[in-house]
Structure 1
Amino acid sequence: MAAGGPASELIMFIVAVIVAGSVAGGLAYITNDIAHGMNDRGAMLADQLRTDFSIINDPNNIPVSGTGPYTYTFYIKNIGKEPFPFTADAVQVFIDGDMVPPANLTFTDVSGNTITTLGPYEVGVIKVTKGSPLTSGQYYTIMVVLENGKRRSLVFKAP
């Protein structure tokens, strides 16, 4: 009988150590998972901060050419530190919430040469072709969205 007391205490001690080890292992796994998630989110945020652009048109003087179809010209400046894809596959354009089909977009540099990326501090041109003209004197909103989700908009007056 005298040996029963210390044996049960030893069993209880072993169970307590096993439970404590399991809890510590679970907490270590969860902490590691949270740390990796924060690292991934930080890298994604850093990428978005390095990628930035601006629409640099005069909102009261948007260049337009043609008499049907009509081509509107918008200037985009990469104000970030990283180049980004500058093609109809990677950039979406919306006018007043309506997506402009990629076939109606042309991406060039300011000299008119076709380009596929826009480097830091470079200016690119997006030409938007529409079958019918925008109503003269009306205000419209253009939104340009990059492949990483970064977007900028400009309210402009149709010529």
Structure 2
Amino acid sequence: MQDETSALHLFLNDENGDTAVTHMIFFIAAVIIAVGVVGALSTNVQSIMGATSENSEVVSDQLKTDITIISDPEVIPYNTTSDYYTFYAKNTGKSDIAPEYVDVILDGEYIQGKNLNMSLQDSPGVWKPSGVIIINVTTGDPLDPGDHRLKITTDNGISDTIDFKT
């Protein structure tokens, strides 16, 4: 019985065992905290990588898109019967452009609806590379004599501007 009591006494008073248990608790707590930090960081990294991927697609699309207004700024056709000016623009890029997403601004005023008619010269539906789009802008009355500006913008922000006189 003496041996059992001394063995129990040694076990209960073993400072190395207390230290090992304390270290084990701290180790488990550190692992739990590390797993939480890794989970939070991986979520942020995935979010950043997704945004970077989307941004690179937009930039790639912008690099492939280009338009040029090919109307002669000295002679802009005006239809006196229907009161509209006709402008011509060419898709000088490498990607197709949807005409329904092309915006037209004349002298700082956004042109839309019944005052804007766009038709493709070469192919219906999609403005193909090297294709020409015909843009008729109805003004109601002829523009005042002097300097004017027309801006055509695609859905991804690529634009061209022409300054002309009437």
TM-score range, shorter chain: 0.7 to 0.9
Distance across 1 between alignment mates of 2:39 and 2:120: 56
* Structure 2 segments unaligned to the other structure (5+ residues): 1-12
Q: Cα RMSD between the aligned structures? A: 2.0
CA distance, structure 2, for counterparts of residue 4 and residue 82 of structure 1: 71
User: Structure 1 length as normaliser, TM-score?
Assistant: 0.84
Q: 1:101 aligns with which of 106, 112, 134?
A: 112
Aligned counterparts of 2:23 and 2:60: Cα–Cα separation in 1 = 55
Residue 110 of structure 1: how far off its partner (Å)? 4.4
Contact persistence 1:93–1:145 (CA under 8 A): yes
Q: Percent identity?
A: 32
State the distance in 2 between where 1:7 and 1:105 align: 80
**Are the counterparts in 1 of residues 86 and 135 from structure 2 also a CA contact under 8 Å?**
yes
Q: Distance in 1 between matches of 2:144 and 2:33?
A: 73
Aligned length: 152
Post-superposition Cα deviations, 1:72-91, rounded to whole Å, max 9, x if no partner, equal 111110011111122xx422
Cross-structure match for 2:159:
151
The correspondence for 1:65, drawn from 72, 75, 79, is 79
Letter in 2 for 1:92: D
Normalised TM-score (structure 2)? 0.81
Consecutive unaligned residues of structure 1, counting only runs of 5 or more, are none
**Which consecutive aligned stretches of 4+ in structure 1 deviate over 4 angstroms post-superposition?**
none
SS of structure 2 residue aligned to 1:14: helix
Q: Which has the higher contact order (CA 8 A, sep 6+)?
A: 1
Bigger strand share: 1
Task: Considering fraction of residues, name the structure with more helix.
Answer: 2
2:121, 2:131 within 8 Å by CA — same for their partners in 1?
no
Greater displacement, 75-84 / 12-21: 12-21
